[in-house]
Amino acid sequence: MTSTQWLRRTATCLALTLPAAAMAQTIIKVSDVQPAGYPNVVALENMGKKLEAATNGKFKFQMYPGGVLGSEKEMIEQAQVGALQIARISLGPMGPVVPDVNVFNLPFLFRDEGHMRAVIDGPIGKEILDKITASSAKLVGLGWMDSGSRSMYTKNAIKTPDDLKGQKIRVMGNPMFVEMMNAMGGNGISMGHNDTFSALQTGVVDGAENNPPTFFASNQYTAGPKFYSQTTHLIIPELFVMSKITWDKFSKDEQALVMKFSREAQMEQRALWDKSVGDYTAKLKAYGIQFVTLDKKPFYDATAPMRAKYGSQYADLIKRIEATK
């Protein structure tokens, strides 16, 4: 027997004795624009551990945090072609892809975060996920994640719509949010999350709007803003989706496991989120960021026309949302 023949025979014997999972392990690439340690990222990493254990190592999550695979728009595009398996994304960039999610993008839609959670945990939340899956977007809606309440951070305190005049405020990549900011008195500038820090630092924008954990974790609090004005104009859940191309390769049992662990990730992220809001708010205050309380009604009234404009096609759904306890 030649050395080449011996090597081939040895390789064949090894292959026959290796566990099936080791031979056919499937890497699930998972991406988020948020950094390592962020509630979203941790919840997805733990979901991956559960799936790996339940399938004896057949599936293994490979996490790409911190936007290393690009913006949320780019992650959506990668998932649509199967280059990325799971993406955690905001509803902003999903609006143009699946218009039905825009109902959650309406300013002042939810009474508070508890109301929003009751909606996404119930039948309405499932219906929206199903619509994403049934759409032509080539994505499967796996679950929801909490992103708290969004407010504005700027160099000057915002207490009324007049305080926003002439202020360029970064918003998520959806024309609807540009119109919202313009309605509240500012100048909405659509921009990717990864570009916001430098835009704040160089004065391309005068401020931005987001939740306290993102404001801190992105280091945007060091780029010039001094005030966090608590308009809470948006309480928008976030999504995590799977590439339809990947989903269709899974067996029914594997799909059921993914859905089970997705629901658990949704609830785990929430617990992590609640803790992080308190932690990050304390850190922002310690740095010197001033939290401003204000009368929200003028901002609510200013955005009434756009709620009527964009909400008209979702009138029945909005009534169901309002009736959710």
Mean pLDDT throughout 271-297? Answer: 97
- Which of 19-28, 280-289, 306-315 bottoms out in mean pLDDT, i.e. has the lowest? 19-28
Residue 199 and residue 113 share a domain: no
Going by C-alpha positions, the residue among 322, 288, 287 that lies closest to residue 307 is 322
Copy the structure tokens of residue 208.
């931005």
Residue 251 and residue 106 share a domain: yes
pLDDT at 28: 98
pLDDT at 1: 53
Residue 119 and residue 38 share a domain: yes
Residue 259 and residue 222 share a domain: no
Residue 167 and residue 73 share a domain: no
Residue 175 and residue 81 share a domain: no
Mean pLDDT score of the chain, rounded to an integer?
91
3-class state of residue 67 by DSSP? coil
pTM of the predicted protein model: 0.83
Report whether 99 contacts 91 (CB < 8 A). Answer: no
Model pLDDT for residues 56-101, shown as the tens digit of each residue: 999 999 999 999 999 999 999 999 999 999 999 988 778 777 888 8
Going by C-alpha positions, the residue among 236, 2, 287, 260 that lies closest to residue 125 is 236
Query: For position 212, which CATH number holds?
Result: 3.40.190.170
Indicate the number of domains in the chain.
2
Domain coverage including residue 53: 3-146+237-278
